Chains A and B, each alone.
Chain A
Amino acid sequence: METIQRINHYTAYRPRPFTREERATVTILFGGLTWKHERLIQGVMHNLGYRAQPLPNITRADLDAGKELIDVGACCPTIFTTGNLVNFLKSEVAALGRDEVVKRYVFLTAGACGPCRFGQYHESYTMALDGLGLRDFRLFLLAQNQLDQGATHGGGLEINLPLSLGLIWAILCADVLTDLEYMTRPYEVVPGETDRVMRESIEYLYDVFRRRPQEKLQGGKLKVFAWHVLTDYFTDALREVRKRWDTIRVDRLQVKPKVKITGEFWLQTHEGDGNYNIKRWLEQEGAEVIPPPIAVWLDYLLHSPITSEEWKGAERNRKKIALIRALEHIYHFVYNRFRRALGNLPYELPDQEELKQLAKPYYHYELRGGEGHMLVGKALYAYRHKKAHMICELSPYSCMPNTMSIGAMANVLGRYPDLLYAPIEIKGDAEVHALSRCQMILTEAKRRAQAEFEDALAKTGLTVEAIRRYEERYPEVQRSTYRIPHYGYAGTAANYVMHLARKMR
């Protein structure tokens, strides 16, 4: 063994500063959401004078790259996202050279989640940087629960209200549009229309965020906040977007099971190889997917502190609770404004208190990590309110919080044996196994959707032919933006029948 003469104790990675002067030349890399969310976030960053660029969408090759460079046993979101950064940096090093890459880019990622190892993702990133010989590459963490975190080391990035509110508003806009996308595409008459309009809509909104009026971002925090809440700037833009969606014709008489996606944050949000492209796959298999809005997660983060404040019980804490509740109302107000701008088509946010109460007998609401009690709560919410035929929970292999809620779901299923629940474990490289498991439960969901449809026809006395004739006379009911109310069925086709029956009366 080599004799060590001097002891240089190990120290963790510390990024060198990213200075304000570097803003014009340094590009902030980010990722982890969908291309829609990321494009709008890019608009926010450009609006504030940052150079910003989302990483390329995740591919299977990222899994391989991640596995090579980080400790064994990581969950697949960590491996994928680390590999994604690795592959991007490798390609840039090949094109520009190592020193230029280190100078030209910084990476911004979410951190600070508490008990789950999500808050330790950055350890994997730094390990990968070591492996690439890029330890002097700069990586910064963005806490999820603070709107005003001040400047990062060096002042190059300032996490203030104009940035944070911009990011949240961008996420909410991408969320409501994503709802629209997923309720339209399965029924589109001309294949590819939804994707085309979605791309156009996102580009339009990118520009809206990029052109956020600078004068409204100056001044006191309250003024900046009030403008974001009350302005028509974003709702007008969404109304403009809605007009584009008006042009898409849909056929809602196609009977499709509704599948609600829940699960670990990254996996459920992601659209791509990272989760076997399961949302698209479900659509190909004949389902309508209810995507998980990031807005629910933000609502959870907002609501959670209420419990800890309640414990303290003092007057000061009661005031804090009142403030949080007021913020919750404002948050829902903003989300609902965005929904209304899109004709109330996107789904409403579930009430956090209801999710908590639904999950209570099975999973304590103070158990943090991952989505906590929400996985149980969301499944029961969808079941009780007949929002979906089936729940597909996407869980990374070895995910710590998710495995616990999946286990707790055994108790739920004991009480509600007809709740269709498909917990899908995702490793990144076992696609056939995961999808075939999902398919088995989807078969039953399809049967239920068909039974609902037939029930609706029987109840109303309508026939498909009669509905077709009505559609010919009133083509507006076939617009993607035509709202079908909920009549107690989970499926779109059954609710459509009920709705038209009322109209035809």
Chain B
Amino acid sequence: MRVGIPKVLNIWSTHQFWVGFLTALGISPENIVFSSDTSEDQYREYGKGRGTVDCCYPVKCMSGHYGELIFGQKKKIDILLSPMIYSLPSFLRGHVLDTLTCTRVMAGPENIKAGFLKERDVFAENGIRYVSPFVSLGEPEKVPKQLHLALKDVLDLSEEETVRAVEAGYRALETFNQRMRQKSREILTWCARHDRPCILVLARPYHMDPGIGHEIEAELQAHGFPILWMQYFPIDEDLMHWLFGEEIRAGRIKSPFDISDVWPSSYSSNTNEILWGAKVAARCPWITCVIRFSSYECGMDQPTYTPTQKIVEASGTLYFKFGDLDATKPAGSIKIRVETIVHYVEKYSRDIIRRKLAALPPRCPLLEDAASTSESAPLAA
């Protein structure tokens, strides 16, 4: 049994859940197939003519991913699993109004499958079962029932098996997230110890896809600046307390993950995290620069542009936005902008770090980390 999963949208932040879940059901890892990174070639070869509507590229490119899994596998897949993820298991859950996904993201599979069914059933013609469970990953208590309902006939599942597999999925996801946050902490510690700046990426999970985010952050990393992704920023109590403790004591916020001071309508998971990331960037001394990615026609990002920039710049932190990202990589303009960013980061980071440090309590847990760890080169998280 081979299961193909289109590597799109919120699969970028939940892939470990799906691997853990399927593996627990006895599907070996080599039979869990993710589609490739997004590319124009992928869309041209496998997705062309399958689109049903013009919309943002992260959704539109899904046709190419579906097509690659159907037509582009040496060893055929049996199941195409494209979950409709309604909510996310965000670290902000419980501190915000909700952790829902974007309406396009959750409904993307319904849209894309139409392109493979409108004339004839392409899945059936290729001997593939198309499965698209509606799943509220933000509400773990609902997930076993949702996945059992959607997959019981396809994978011959019992309820008990599903419950166990879901637990395994969440464990895998949590383990992965913790490992990534630990990596980020190591980078921050290195920055603190060496008084060096790093750059925080504020973006949606799918901007990690080189075909969507166009690897802009990698260009900056090549100039020697460590890169952190907001999704994997360390959320350890000591660090959070250092960054937000005074504001909690002053009653401005209830917890380090409370964003009601900057974003009252906190329904959307990725949006909430972007706003929280902006708050972290405004406070964490070694984040001297933020780069914001946004795809063309992103309706969820649109109302956040100004608040995010204002949050970051309130502390003098540098802010650069790469908006309207689409299928084509604008390599020339990226190069010019990267040079500009590098110039500013080199010129102002020292001053930014000093100023932000002055606004925080004296005992930095990262510097305490540094005292207890040996020197090592930073890695991108």
Contact = CB atoms under 8 A, between A and B. Distances in A.
Are A and B associated in one complex? Answer: yes
Interface of A: 1, 3-12, 71-75, 111-117, 119-120, 122-124, 127, 311, 362-364, 366-370, 398-401, 403-411, 413-414
15 contacts: A6-B359, A7-B315, A7-B356, A11-B262, A12-B307, A73-B299, A75-B299, A113-B267, A362-B114, A363-B107, A363-B110, A400-B102, A404-B59, A409-B52, A414-B117
Contact of B310 (A10, A113, A116, A311): A10
B118 A404 contact: no
Contacts of B282: 7, 9-10
A408 B114 contact: yes
Contacts of A1: 316, 348
Interface of B: 52-55, 59, 84, 86, 98, 100-104, 106-108, 110-115, 117-119, 132, 134, 142, 145, 247, 252, 260-265, 267-268, 279, 282-283, 297-307, 310-311, 314-316, 348, 351, 355-356, 359
B55 to A, nearest CB: 4
A110 B123 CA distance: 42
A400 B300 contact: yes
Contacts of B53: 403-404, 406-407, 410
Contacts of B132: 364
Contact of B265 (A71, A119, A364): A119
A117 B104 CA distance: 11
Given A311-B142, A407-B112, A408-B110, A72 B268 contact: no
Contacts of A122: 264-265
Given A114-B100, A123-B307, A367-B103, A399 B299 contact: yes
Given A115-B103, A404-B104, A413-B118, 4 more contacts: A123-B265, A367-B84, A400-B103, A411-B117
Contact of B103 (A111, A369, A410): A369
Which of A71, A111, A363, A407 has the most chain B CB atoms inside 10 A of its CB?
A407
B55 A407 contact: yes
Given A72-B302, A411-B118, A368 B103 contact: yes
Given A4-B316, A7-B359, A410-B52, A400 B299 contact: yes
A11 B261 contact: yes
Contacts of A409: 52, 114
Nearest to B260: A12
Contacts of A75: 299
Given A117-B300, A368-B100, A9 B314 contact: yes
A452 to B, nearest CB: 28
B98 A404 contact: no
B134 A366 contact: yes
A311 B145 contact: yes
A418 B104 CA distance: 27
Contacts of A6: 359
A73 B298 contact: yes
A418 B247 CA distance: 62
A403 B55 contact: yes
B263 A12 contact: yes
Contact of B302 (A73, A116, A410): A73
B359 to A, nearest CB: 5
A404 B303 contact: no
Contacts of A401: 103-104, 107
